[in-house]
Amino acid sequence: MALPSLTACEILATGGDLIDYGLLHHLVAVLGIELERLLVENERSLRLGSELLDDLIQSRLPEQAALDRLAQLNCPTQQSCLASARPTTEPVADWRQRLRRQGVELLVRSQANELIVLLATGQW
């Protein structure tokens, strides 16, 4: 059964007894809502990180405001590293997802084919 909000996701129910389709539809609805919430939360986090990196690079924030926002995003300045790369084998969005899946705390800014990353402590 496909999840309505995510066409690439499906649920496969197996078992020896008859499947309760009412329960299965409820499960699909609850999972769809939760997955959508997680996606929105992740996109919001990526957007905030990208905006903060842009503000830092363009020097648009006073020092204290920058320090406060970095602390909110778990990137203290004394323990962070700024890196820039131009991945040639995979799209920039794939690198962002790959690093997140590995549990790397980071802020990411994509510009054309360039990836600007602020890595948190212990990640580099």
**Structural domain contains residue 36:** no
Q: Give the domain range for residue 55.
A: 43-119
pLDDT at 37: 92
**Structural domain contains residue 56:** yes
**Structural domain contains residue 11:** no
pLDDT at 124: 52
CB contact at 8 A, 118 and 106: yes
pLDDT at 62: 92
**Structural domain contains residue 103:** yes
Q: Percent of the chain, pLDDT > 70?
A: 92
Mean pLDDT over 79-86 rounds to 82
In the block, residue with structure tokens 């778990």: 74
**Structural domain contains residue 63:** yes
**Structural domain contains residue 3:** no
pLDDT at 25: 86
The sheet carrying 81-85 orders its strands as 81-85, 114-119, 106-111
pLDDT at 107: 82
pLDDT at 24: 84
Query: Please, which pLDDT band fits residue 71 given cuts at 50, 70 and 90?
Result: confident
CA-to-CA distance for 121 and 34, rounded, in angstroms?
A: 30
